[in-house]
Each structure stands twice: as C-alpha cells, then as structure tokens.
Chain A
C-alpha cells in the first residue's frame, strides 16, 4: 500500500523547526523520461473587504516594478508576481443586483464558481443577504477531480485530499465564507481548527519505516467500518427522496466515502513529518496571526507530502465582522460598527486610509509567509514554489462601495508554471472567469473557459 513507486528524498521540514526528515512524495517519473517532473499545484486565496487601489497596484514596467505600499511585504518575490489589473467579477456586476445576488460582501460563492448564486434561496430577512449559496461546482473541485482522474488513469493513487480547503475564522458553510463547492448549494466546509487539521493530516503516524501502531490501526478500521455502514444507510434511504433531497444525501454519502479514503491514506502516510504547531489557543483575536501561520504551515506540509495539489484558503470571510487587529495597535470600538474590525475599517479606512493600508499590508505579509514556506521545500534543483501558482483575490475592490470591478488580484507563480511574471497587466473588463480557466490550464487541467458561458475564454498569462 505504500506508494513505493514514489522516490523518497529527504529534506529538512520546511514547515517546522523540528529538524525531522520530511520525505518527498511528489516526484513522478514517467516511463521513458529521465528527468523527473514535479506535480503542479494551485492555491486559491480569497480575502474580503476590498483594498485601497492606489496603494495596491504597482507602478513601473515589466521587470522593473515598484510595489505599492500594501504589497510591499512581497518585495522579495517581486520577480514571481503578476498583477492582472482590469479583471471584473462580471458574473456579479452584470446581474440584476436585486436578483438574488445583492451585496458583494456575500460573493464568495460566486468567486471560484464564476457563476451566479443559487436561485430559490431567498433569505429569511429578504433585506439581508440570505445564505448566498453557490449554484455550481467551484474550479478547485473541478481541477482536483480531473487530477485524480488523470492519476488513476496512470495507475497511481488518487490524492488523499483532492482539495484542501482551509479558512481562518469566517462563517462556515454559506456564501459568506465558503469558496469551495461541489455543486449547486453544496458548500465544502473548510478546516478552521489547526489542531484538528493537524491530527487529520497526520493521523497515520509520521515516522518513516515503522509499522503502524495496532491501536491506531484498530481505531482507523473501526471508523472505516462505521462509515461503511453510514454510507450504505444513506444510499438506501436516499432512494425514495425527491431530486433535490436525493442530491443532498448523495453529497453526504460522497463526503462519507471521501473520509473513508482519507482514513485509508492516513494509515499509509507514514513518513511525513508534521509541522510544529505553536502552543496557543487559536481562539482569542491575539492568536489570529499564529492561527494563519499554522494553517499556512499545514497547507505547505500537505502539498509537500503529496496529500493534495489544490488548496483554497480564506483568511476570514466576505464580511470579517470578527477579525480585528490589536497586534497592529488598532483597537477600540469601530466607527460604523461596535468593533473596529476589518469590515468597519473597509467602510471607514481611517485618516489617509492608514488603518486600511496597514491591515491589508499585514495580510500581504501572510502571503509572503506562505511564499517563504513554499520556497523552503526543495524540489529537484529548485523549490516547490517553482511548481506552484498562488492567486490572491480580494473579493471587492472598494470595501465601502462594494464594487467588484477591477478586482485586486495578485499571482505568485513559480518558474515552471508557464506564467510570465514580474509585470502588471492592463486589461479591460476582463471577466474573472478567464483568469480561473488560465490557472486550471497552468496546472495541466485543460479548459477553454470556466463558469458562466457568457464569459468564455482563457486569459493569456504568457
């Protein structure tokens, strides 16, 4: 069961200071090829509440960019950055704003799906946002499905976590917070507790070469047997239901089987070294920075261990009512809201936008932290970042006016991703659908467009 077709190469754990050895599982050798090729990965990051345009976009020419204040933490990675300016969330902006979409603080469900929100889901408080559920599969899920199909066609094990979905706070399971969807009105809950994610990723033990602990095997086998029963019970009960209810049950049954697969993988994942989590509670707001870092550590480890190739991450949600910034010295009550949280700052950015710029800059420093981690994992002659593209999308342009035109987007792309970086692109009313399609192509999942067919095509990133 061990993936012995994968060569192992030791390297220092990139994600923790533990010094334990982390084997490399990701290297693939195709028949007749002498040089190894590494899997391509994509990380979708969406953060809410808009930006300050003048401080976000860089100036200068290709190869000679001057980063804006907000993006200044990314200075060390400037040569790997691409700023596609002029991308509109047209699927949102061009729909009747009162036709069920409404306030763009609630557009998370339309970002990676690039389709309109689900219909027939009016809120209880019709003046409010409803649940803002997505209407179709998100691109991360589509990419992951295709990758797994490709892997199985090559006789390889499918990925244990087809998509690893992680968030730092935010309200789960609605279009307020959820990026990943398996289909119409089917949110994929994101991991939000680093401790739980840690114990899940590394459930099967982490030491190379030792036999699994019988107690662990017994526990995993028990869980598998129970889930097997649960899956069968769902199948049987689902038979009678109406179409929509049957879909819900099918989604539940699929999730049960996905956990069964994860458990099987967990039993054989011996060899992966886990990052060291900080011993903090992760619940008070002061622990938000270590929470975000721990999650980025876990994401890096999961990618490095070959558990996943597709990640979604949201450091918050579309509203961010619970994220505030004592570590930046921003405290006290807000101006429009009881707390000076990220949403309040979006509406009232402070004198000369100082609070808004400082908080957005902090989020970009977390982006830089992730890039540090990815580039600390050796891969061939380079690093894992060479084979990764990370896209950071802000769900709004202006957090006050709730605009979704000219979205603040920055990509970091490794050398092997076929993306021409170190530049600012100036586009005109480009639908964000085409950017998503381009990212799928960059990781080897060919598509000619994504989402709403009114906005076809693939953005040329070369």
Chain B
C-alpha cells in the first residue's frame, strides 16, 4: 500500500444509505469516536468516502508471488508492470486503465504462466472424475477464491466455465484440459476481481446507518495490503471465512499479529522511506569535484542506515516518533563508517553522543536526497520539514511572476546566497519559512557528510519556525529535531501520515473524529507507534466508508 493522492469528492453530507433495519446496540464511543464493540457504527458517526482501488505495482508483484509460490524471483525484473502513476515523491496511486494497461495486464498474466512452467497451478491440478467440466469448475472456485481474495459468486464461476468450454471446443483453439485451465488462470489475473481491491464481489454492501461497513473479506485484504503489501494469508482467509473480522477487537488482533510478523518489516521500511521521500535517492548524483569522497554505492548504504535505525526504533522497546527523530545512535556499514569517519561496534552501531547528528533527519540519506549535486539546499530541506514533519504546505512558485534570478555567486556561502534569494518580495513570503527551517541542516553538506565551514566561514546553522503556534528558535539540526520530537503539530502530522498509509486515501473532514482520537491516543501512549499502527485498524476509516455518490446500496 502507499500514500495516495485521491480524495473522495465530498467529505460531508454524503447521501444516506438505506437503513439496514437491523437492531444494533446503542452507540458506545470507542475507537475513532463512534465504532461500537460489535463493530457497527454509532449514530451520527461519519467517515470519508473511499474510492475503488486497483493493486499497485508492489502489491501486484507480492500478490503474484503469494499466489504462485513457485514463481521465480527473477520474474519481477523481466515484466513491464502496470504503472502506479508514480510521481517520484511517494505516491502510489494506480489510475484508470487505458488500453496500454490492458495489454500490460495481459502480458503480465501470460508471463507469469510462462515463468511458472510445469509448476503452474493448472499443471499441478489433477482431475480425478470423468467430468472434466466439473473439474474445471472446482479449479475455478479453488484458484478463484485466492485470486479474487473471496469466494466466487455462482455467476462468476459460470462465466469462467463458459470460457473453459469455448477454449476446449472452438476449432481454432481446441485446447487440452490443462492448457485450458492455464488460460483460465490468465483470464482471472486480468479480471477485475484480481486487479481491483474489490473483495465485496457482486454482493450488496453492508449498510450500517449512513455508512457502509466492510465485510470480512474486504477487511482481510485491507489488513494484509496495509501491513504486508500483499494478499491475505491462510489465517486471514480462515478468519474471513468464519466472518470473524467484524469487531474492532477481532480486526486489531489480526493487525497485531501481522505487525509482529517479520513480513511487516518491509512495510515499516516502506513507510519510512516514502515518508522521508527517499524514492529518488538511488539515482541521486553528486559532483565528484565538490564531494571527492562520495561514491554512488554509498547511496544504498545510506538507505540501509535509515531503514536500520527505523527498524531498531520501531521494533524496539520505545517505538516512538521522538526516538526516530532524536535517537543518539545509528547503524552503518563499513563503507559508510569510513565516509562518515566513525567507528561502529561489532553490530554496526555508532554512538552519536557528542556529535551533530541525531535521529533520522540528519542521516546521509535525507541530507543527500534533499541536497543539490554541488551544495546544500536549505530550500528543499526546509520544504521537506514543513511538508512531512508539520503537514504544512507551501504553494508552488506562481507562474509568470517568478523573476529571473541571477546565477548564484559561488564565492558566497549558501546562507548568503539564500539571503539574496529572499530579498525578492515575491519570493520572501514562502522562502523565509522554508529557508529558516532548512538552515538548521547547514552542517551537513549536499552529500550527507558533516562539515564545519562553508566557503571558509564558520557555519551559522541557526533558524526558526512557527511550531505549535509559537516561534521556536534552534541552533542546529539536533535542536530542531528535539523541537519537532515534542511538537504536537508533528505528532498530529505523523499520525496522519500513518492513517493515509493505512487507508490508502487522504483523511477527509468526515474522518475528523477518528483522526483526533488517534492523535490523542498516540500522544497518550507516549508515542507508541506500534500501538498507533494497530489502533488505526480499530477506527471507522478502516472498518467503514461513506457510500459513494450514485452507489447502489440495495441488494
């Protein structure tokens, strides 16, 4: 799963669904403001709309590997995957399907079967009876349940049986039994049941007052794609079959199980690297004349450093936001240790006390990806802090009013260059905010290393920003990290980032109760991030959605 940019068009005043007429216990305020212990929403509960999603690139690959354990790892590199409309920053939003995407789905399905060869499920399937069509139907229902992440409706199986018959009997095709089943597998992989997060299938939505409650199969996939980036495992399927994914406790118990599993490590790393916008890191280039000790191989080491510290914090005894930002230690491999000039212990751990480094923000990965090729970039670093740590926005430069700036004077420090930059009134409004945050990182050069001077002058890394409604001044990046670590605004932002990651959409105003609840409980738990990751699954935005405009709610 990932961050997405798609927002339901209306947050409030969603049309009411028909009342389900059922008798529910009186609302009990619990998770997210209004989900009762039995999992049904209380009266007046609201939640945002949630557009239909398609599997993203990573989700699709993981799902194929789970669906076909015999699929070789080399498969991934050799297929042209449908795009997520990636836009480098951290989005993962599969968009509408054009004809080229349809071809990609087709190629992907065929390539999967080819790569599986004799290990494909159709080749392994044995028809014991004499009625091959009945066997085909069994195969369709068994494989289809996993491919669609839910049981198939009768009519869906009928369609596939009809396709099977055509494949066997059409004179131009005339497939043998196992080959026909292979084409059925390809067909199912191109079907909306596989491609879309559509685990409700053909059934009517579960109407819950004004809302729609996800059914157990939908919840199973919501959990698995959130925490493992893939299809549900056997335990989740079993829970869904037993309809035991309906109450907040049942859902959260499964979430806790998935989070505890090492398979969630990749999700934690995925969240952290997307949150820190490290996507472009691997293709970052630095000028060898300016940074002679930098080597491109270090970029992987830097990413690994960020992942290792996050893993240590989030899997450790104090998995807190503040620890992520202010951990006085890090983990480096041999070449990064040499680059930084530090001496790690046998586990690669480096004690940072007494140094300028502190936590994730001062690591080589973020400093490099937010640095230019030949110098630092207070603008990009400051903008990053505003966007990602404080959930504040900076409008883009207005078209047609950006003055042509003179090329930077290379004899001046970056700070001096930026001062000229901000002397333009049309720039100053935004750049004052970004630059004064970004200056805090001036001790870290564009390639992530510590430096004392800039153009022979001692570095001034002081800055200021309005945080939690007050002007905070800080002497350097470590001081800024400490301010952020204890900032309510930053806690609120970090909580929102996790919510977006979990529910695959932006929060909307109808989700306000759940967001406030999660921010409050996060701070109340002493910033226990593992608790937050699980607790999100107890709330309405995870278990419910508002009906879509024009959706057919009646059975």
Which residue of A is nearest B101, CB measured?
A: A189
Assess whether A337 is in contact with B373, with CB atoms less than 8 Å apart. Answer: yes
Assess whether A92 is in contact with B86, with CB atoms less than 8 Å apart. Answer: no
Assess whether B96 is in contact with A186, with CB atoms less than 8 Å apart. Answer: yes
Interface string of B392-405 (1 = CB under 8 A from A): 01111111101110
Report the minimal beta-carbon distance from A265 to chain B, rounded to whole angstroms: 13
Please, which residues of chain A bring their CB within 8 A of the CB of B88?
Answer: 171, 321
Which of A120, A233, A259, A405: most chain B CB closer than 10 A? A233
Assess whether A102 is in contact with B395, with CB atoms less than 8 Å apart. Answer: yes
Assess whether B96 is in contact with A333, with CB atoms less than 8 Å apart. Answer: no
Which residue of A is nearest B204, CB measured?
A: A240
Assess whether B395 is in contact with A98, with CB atoms less than 8 Å apart. Answer: yes
Assess whether B96 is in contact with A122, with CB atoms less than 8 Å apart. Answer: no
Please, which residues of chain A bring their CB within 8 A of the CB of B86?
Answer: 171
B35 within 8 Å of A (CB atoms): no
Report how far A335 CA is from B182 CA in the complex, Å.
Answer: 54
Report the minimal beta-carbon distance from B401 to chain A, rounded to whole angstroms: 8
Report how far A234 CA is from B196 CA in the complex, Å.
Answer: 10
Assess whether B373 is in contact with A334, with CB atoms less than 8 Å apart. Answer: yes
Report the minimal beta-carbon distance from A27 to chain B, rounded to whole angstroms: 27
Which residue of B is nearest A107, CB measured?
A: B399
Dominant secondary structure of chain B at its interface with chain A: loop
B26 within 8 Å of A (CB atoms): no
Report how far A121 CA is from B187 CA in the complex, Å.
Answer: 32
Report the minimal beta-carbon distance from A355 to chain B, rounded to whole angstroms: 13
Which of B100, B163, B283, B404: most chain A CB closer than 10 A? B100
Assess whether B287 is in contact with A333, with CB atoms less than 8 Å apart. Answer: yes
Report the minimal beta-carbon distance from B201 to chain A, rounded to whole angstroms: 8
Which residue of A is nearest B391, CB measured?
A: A126
Assess whether A124 is in contact with B170, with CB atoms less than 8 Å apart. Answer: no
Q: How many A-B residue pairs have CB under 8 A?
A: 252
Within 8 A of B (CB), among A234-292: 234, 236-237, 239-246, 248-249, 251-252, 255-256, 258-259, 262
Assess whether B166 is in contact with A242, with CB atoms less than 8 Å apart. Answer: no
Assess whether B7 is in contact with A252, with CB atoms less than 8 Å apart. Answer: no
A172 within 8 Å of B (CB atoms): yes
Assess whether A126 is in contact with B99, with CB atoms less than 8 Å apart. Answer: no
Report how far A188 CA is from B286 CA in the complex, Å.
Answer: 35
**Stretch of B241-249, B411-419, B531-539, B542-550 that contacts chain A:** B542-550
Please, which residues of chain A bring their CB within 8 A of the CB of B284?
Answer: 338
Report how far A128 CA is from B548 CA in the complex, Å.
Answer: 28
Assess whether B90 is in contact with A125, with CB atoms less than 8 Å apart. Answer: yes
Assess whether B83 is in contact with A173, with CB atoms less than 8 Å apart. Answer: yes
Report how far A223 CA is from B173 CA in the complex, Å.
Answer: 11
Interface string of B68-105 (1 = CB under 8 A from A): 00000000000010010111111101011111111100
Please, which residues of chain B bring their CB within 8 A of the CB of A400?
Answer: 402, 404
Assess whether B373 is in contact with A339, with CB atoms less than 8 Å apart. Answer: yes
Report how far A225 CA is from B174 CA in the complex, Å.
Answer: 13
Partner of B7, one of A98, A121, A236: A121
Please, which residues of chain A bring their CB within 8 A of the CB of B186?
Answer: 226
Assess whether A243 is in contact with B400, with CB atoms less than 8 Å apart. Answer: no
B5 within 8 Å of A (CB atoms): yes
Assess whether B83 is in contact with A172, with CB atoms less than 8 Å apart. Answer: yes
B4 within 8 Å of A (CB atoms): yes
Within 8 A of B (CB), among A301-353: 321, 332-339, 348
Report how far A348 CA is from B106 CA in the complex, Å.
Answer: 43
**A97/B192 contact (C-beta < 8 A), A222-B167, A225-B173, A339-B373 known:** no
Interface string of B1-41 (1 = CB under 8 A from A): 00111110100000000000000000000000000000000
Interface residues on A, range: 35 or more
**A131/B85 contact (C-beta < 8 A), A218-B172, A245-B52 known:** yes
Assess whether A255 is in contact with B551, with CB atoms less than 8 Å apart. Answer: no
Which residue of B is nearest A172, CB measured?
A: B83
Partner of B99, one of A122, A214, A262, A401: A262
**A171/B372 contact (C-beta < 8 A), A229-B160, A259-B103 known:** no
Which residue of B is nearest A220, CB measured?
A: B172
B129 within 8 Å of A (CB atoms): no
Interface string of B283-304 (1 = CB under 8 A from A): 1111100000000000000000
A185 within 8 Å of B (CB atoms): yes
Assess whether A103 is in contact with B397, with CB atoms less than 8 Å apart. Answer: yes
Please, which residues of chain B bring their CB within 8 A of the CB of A81?
Answer: none
Report how far A182 CA is from B5 CA in the complex, Å.
Answer: 20
- Other than A121-B5, A165-B100, A241-B551, give 20 A-B pairs with Cβ distance below 8 A: A98-B395, A98-B396, A102-B399, A124-B4, A124-B500, A125-B89, A130-B5, A171-B85, A229-B187, A230-B191, A240-B551, A244-B9, A244-B548, A249-B52, A255-B97, A255-B102, A259-B99, A262-B99, A335-B407, A338-B286
10 smallest beta-carbon distances between A and B, as pairs: A242-B548, A243-B550, A189-B100, A338-B285, A126-B393, A333-B373, A252-B97, A242-B551, A173-B85, A245-B52
**A–B pairs, 19, beta carbons within 8 Å:** A124-B5, A125-B387, A127-B393, A130-B5, A130-B87, A131-B85, A172-B85, A214-B172, A217-B172, A221-B170, A225-B183, A227-B106, A229-B162, A229-B187, A233-B192, A333-B285, A400-B402, A403-B399, A403-B400
* B positions within 8 Å CB-CB of A: 3-7, 9, 49, 51-52, 80, 83, 85-91, 93, 95-103, 106, 155-156, 159-160, 162-163, 166-167, 170, 172-173, 183, 186-187, 190-193, 196, 198, 201-202, 204-205, 277, 283-287, 372-374, 383, 386-388, 393-400, 402-404, 407, 500, 506, 547-552
